[in-house]
């Protein structure tokens, strides 16, 4: 018995591909993906079609996962409104709110808006999801199963929270990668060979993340545990924790990203 019922995946970018891989690991019933750029037969559990018109009559997905680029939604989504009465619509499109999706899919569509992030590719993502009122308990549970295949899942009832979620966890991997990039550059500036600088930066960031995930202590406590009084780390943190440095920069960055998410939802 398969754990994942038939799914219609609309769009096959990196996130759609990561989700599909997670579903397959759990056992995916024969499903369909819509993407004109993919080969026709990527596996026995998935048929790839170029457009909605090619979907066989009688195919009844339990969920339609909307993974197209947000700017393509207006043209693409109305073709799937025919499933709105039977399938839950799970959107992972950034900046597309439930009201806008309902205009494209029909007033009665059961819509879940979700924001995953790129560690989904290694099943270590975090997705925050918000259900519309029309979503049933069973449909919410199905979406939870689909999203749990790529990492942890959290739910909010207030859709307005998805904008700061997008800023923090949606964009968060880029901020972490920037930290690794800057650590590598700073190491090179101090005379460390480039290859060793990259190894040190990558392993420090990934290892610290693993420690954070495994620890029951909060991040501030873990930071203090590394910071010996009058030591080298304390000296570095004195620079980074100046109000005009990281505290202000991170706050302004998240506020800017949140504002942009709201603009896109417009």
Q: CB within 8 A of 89, min separation 6: which ones?
A: 63, 64, 66, 80, 83, 101, 105, 109, 110, 111, 112
- Whole-number Å distance between alpha carbons of 186 and 29: 49
Residue 35 has pLDDT above 90, yes or no: no
Supply the pTM of this predicted model.
Answer: 0.91
Q: How many CB atoms lie within 10 A of CB 126?
A: 21
Domains of the chain (ranges, CATH numbers):
7-162 (3.40.50.720), 172-265 (1.10.3730.10)
10 Å CB burial of residue 21 (0-12, 13-18, 19+) is: middle
Least confident of 45-49, 101-105, 216-220: 45-49
| Higher per-residue pLDDT: 128 or 264 | 128
Residue 104 has pLDDT above 80, yes or no: yes
- Whole-number Å distance between alpha carbons of 153 and 145: 9
Could you tell me the end-to-end alpha-carbon distance of the chain, in angstroms, rounded to an integer? 43
What are 198-218's pLDDT values in tens digits? 999 999 999 999 999 999 999
Please compute the mean of the pLDDT values over residues 39-50 and round it to a whole number. Answer: 78
Q: Residue 65 in 3-state DSSP?
A: strand
Q: Which of 152, 183, 145, 156 shows the shortest CA–CA distance to 62?
A: 145
């Amino acid at each position: 018995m398969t754990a994942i019922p038939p799914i219609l995946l609309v769009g096959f970018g990196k996130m759609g591909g990561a989700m599909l891989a997670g579903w397959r690991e759990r056992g995916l019933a024969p499903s369909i993906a819509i993407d004109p750029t993919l080969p026709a037969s990527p596996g026995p559990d998935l048929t790839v079609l170029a457009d909605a018109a090619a979907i066989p009559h009688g195919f009844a997905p339990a969920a339609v996962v909307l993974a197209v680029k947000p700017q393509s939604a207006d043209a693409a989504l109305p073709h799937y409104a025919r499933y709105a009465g039977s399938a839950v619509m799970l959107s992972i499109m950034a900046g597309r709110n439930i009201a806008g999706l309902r205009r494209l899919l029909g007033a009665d569509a059961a819509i879940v808006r979700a924001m995953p992030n790129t560690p989904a590719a290694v099943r270590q993502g975090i997705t925050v999801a918000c259900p519309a009122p029309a979503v049933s308990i069973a449909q919410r549970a199905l979406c939870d199963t689909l999203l749990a295949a790529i990492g942890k899942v959290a739910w909010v009832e207030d859709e307005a929270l998805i904008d700061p979620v997008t800023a923090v966890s949606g964009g968060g991997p880029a901020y972490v990668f920037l930290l690794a990039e800057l650590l590598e550059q700073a190491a090179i500036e101090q005379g460390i060979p480039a290859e060793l600088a990259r190894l040190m930066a990558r392993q420090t960031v990934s290892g610290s993340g693993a420690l954070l995930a495994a620890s029951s202590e909060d991040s501030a406590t873990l930071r203090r545990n590394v910071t010996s009084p009058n030591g080298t780390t304390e000296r570095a943190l004195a620079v980074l924790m100046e109000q005009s440095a990281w505290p202000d920069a991170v706050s302004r960055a998240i506020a800017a990203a949140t504002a942009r998410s709201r603009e896109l939802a417009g």
